[in-house]
Amino acid sequence: MGNWVVNHWFPAVVIAAWLGLNVFLFVYYFLLFDRDKKYYYTRVLLGSALAWARASAKCLNFNSMLILLPVCRNLLSFLRGACSCCRRTMRKQLDHNLTFHKLVAYTIALFTAVHIIAHLCNLEWYNDSQQAADGSLSSILSDLHQDGSNKWLNPIRSNSTTPAYVAFTTIPGLTGVIITVALILMITSSMEFIRRSYFEVFWYTHHLFVIYFAGLVIHGIAGLVRGQTAESLKEHSPEQCARDPTHWGREKRPHCEKPEFGSIPAESWQWVLAPILLYVFERVLRFWRSQQRVVVTKVVMHPSKVLELQMHKKGFSMEVGQYIFINCPSVSRLEWHPFTLTSAPEEEFFSVHIRAAGDWTENLIDTFQQQKPKTPRIEVDGPFGTASEDVFQYEVAMLVGAGIGVTPFASVLKSIWYKFQHADQRLQTKKIYFYWLCRDTGAFAWFNDLLASLEQEMEESGKAGFLNYRLFLTGWDNSIAGQAAFNFDNDTDVVTGLKQKTSFGRPRWCTEFSAVATAHPRSVVGVFLCGPEALAKSLQKCCHQYSSLDPRKVKFYFNKENF
């Protein structure tokens, strides 16, 4: 338990607070609508479904208020910079923005289901009360103020009207259907398989959030669910008058005038107005920055179909490990895709490495390879902060990249190279362990030069032990293994040409963590990953296993890149 607390205590507090607010809102408004005498007669018609519908609506508003905040990238970057002096535990929470965004989305889906079921019951019971002609209290309430005044309680006025007709012809019903369809499409298209394999489907469908919020704002303006007005309560107490509805408004019961009802004011816009305005500002800022001119200074095609773009943009400033969004109008005017910066802050240009992994990236690479009639125009938005920014806040860092996931660490290692060259004394990090896992030998090629330069620079500066890097070839055949074994005694590796030998297979993470814990018994170790979720689970498990709350022992803090 103690090992888990090291990495998760603060996220656990945040989630507990969020869950607590959801529970409080639901319980508070459920009891309000279930007990308040203002809704006494509404409950006569609808029963407990009234409380279920209204309580879930409040929770829907609350979570709809939160859903946009985790995807306001400029806001997160501002907060990351604003709390740069805070504990890394606080900053780490910002790296879970997409996880929280998904959690809130699933919660919205849950409360939407509750809200829909409750209102379907409400429509059925409204209709049953209107159809009844037995002189019951619900029948009398349904017949009240059907003379065209706005004091009625039952929104179904005709015996020939069906619940389905009301659902598809009223503003709340129609907007509810539209909101639900938009929500279903957004959530289903966000599944991992679709998002990874058909990013364009995910990207376009996710913009239905505009329809979702527009529908949410106008959903309650018709006020079909009503309660007794404050003025009416002064002249008609439902607890006393409900027993004898046949004498309402007669001299025999002077304090039991006919009850009058008014709509519940629409409140959704009050919950979501501020986040919507913030998000609009976010998008305006993104658009303004994306329109600034970007000059592509160099294009390099690396093995394994990896495209390197070196670019320059006036006023562009970055930190290690940050990422940008790229748009190429000649490929798609609307699509923006995130890529980690592989350049260092000390360089005069900024660069990305793009691997073919879908229609958009393949089309982009083909476009740059053709370069006809000229280099395609590129638009850039960013940079935005990530977990890798905090690498130099740790005394010891373990960097793990899988395939093209090495890109944020290319920026880190380049920055280290420049710091060594300029003898930067501000570097607090004393040791870096770097692991790179690749499926094929060609993937190593574009990164070899940087590692070779680092090897030479560290030897010349007397810091040969600063960087411990391990390269793992996870996809290999017998011919490569045999050639490596035959040339094992050579000074350089047969696969990469580096002094460090390439390992075949996958790392034994328990062994690696145990070795680091033994070598740095009282250190705080930052573990940084850019790779698949399965690898993240393995590393996170090791962080829990080898961390301790004892200040005299090692602590591993897990950080993962999220886009």
* 3-state SS string for 258-308: CCCEEECCCCHHHHHHHHHHHHHHHHHHHHHHHCCCEEEEEEEEECCCEEE
Q: Which amino acid would we find at residue 215?
A: G
Residue 208 resides in a domain: no
The answer on 378 and 400 residing in a single domain is no
The answer on 349 and 225 residing in a single domain is no
Q: Which of 474, 455, 449, 462 lies closest to 531 in space, CA to CA?
A: 474
Q: Does residue 496 have a pLDDT over 60? A: no
* 25-39, 71-85, 373-387, 389-403, range with the lowest pLDDT: 71-85
Residue 168 resides in a domain: no
The answer on 247 and 369 residing in a single domain is no
Instruction: Give the chain's domain count.
Output: 3
Q: Mind spelling out the 3-state secondary structure of 46-111?
A: HCCHHHHHHHHHHHHHHHHHHHCHHHCHHHHHHHHHHCCCCCHHHHHHHCCHHHHHHHHHHHHHHH
Binned at pLDDT 50, 70 and 90, residue 17 comes out as very high
Binned at pLDDT 50, 70 and 90, residue 372 comes out as low
| Residue 381 φ then ψ, to 5° | -125, 125
Each residue of 69-107: pLDDT tens digit? Answer: 988 888 887 777 665 544 556 666 777 788 899 999 999
How confident is the model at residue 516, as a pLDDT?
A: 87
Tokens of 361: 């990236």
The answer on 400 and 273 residing in a single domain is no
For the packed helices 49-67 and 209-218, what is the interaxial angle rounded to 10 degrees?
A: 140
Sheet containing 294-302: which strands, arranged edge to edge?
Answer: 294-302, 306-313, 350-355
DSSP category for residue 146 = -
CATH number of the domain to which 373 belongs: 2.40.30.10
Q: pLDDT averaged over the chain? A: 82
Query: Of 338, 365, 384, at which residue does a domain stop?
Result: 384
The answer on 133 and 278 residing in a single domain is yes
| DSSP-derived 3-state class of residue 138 | helix
Range of the domain at 336: 292-384
The answer on 542 and 522 residing in a single domain is yes
The answer on 224 and 114 residing in a single domain is yes
How confident is the model at residue 303, as a pLDDT?
A: 73
Query: Of 344, 363, 384, at which residue does a domain stop?
Result: 384
Mean pLDDT of 380-386: 84
Query: What are the CA-CA distances from residue 531 to residues 304, 402, 502, 535, 562 (Å)?
Result: 17, 5, 19, 7, 9
- The answer to whether the predicted template modeling score (pTM) of the entire model surpasses 0.75 is yes
The answer on 43 and 149 residing in a single domain is yes
Q: Does residue 2 have a pLDDT over 50? A: no
The answer on 82 and 149 residing in a single domain is yes
376 vs 3, more confident? 376
The answer on 551 and 445 residing in a single domain is yes
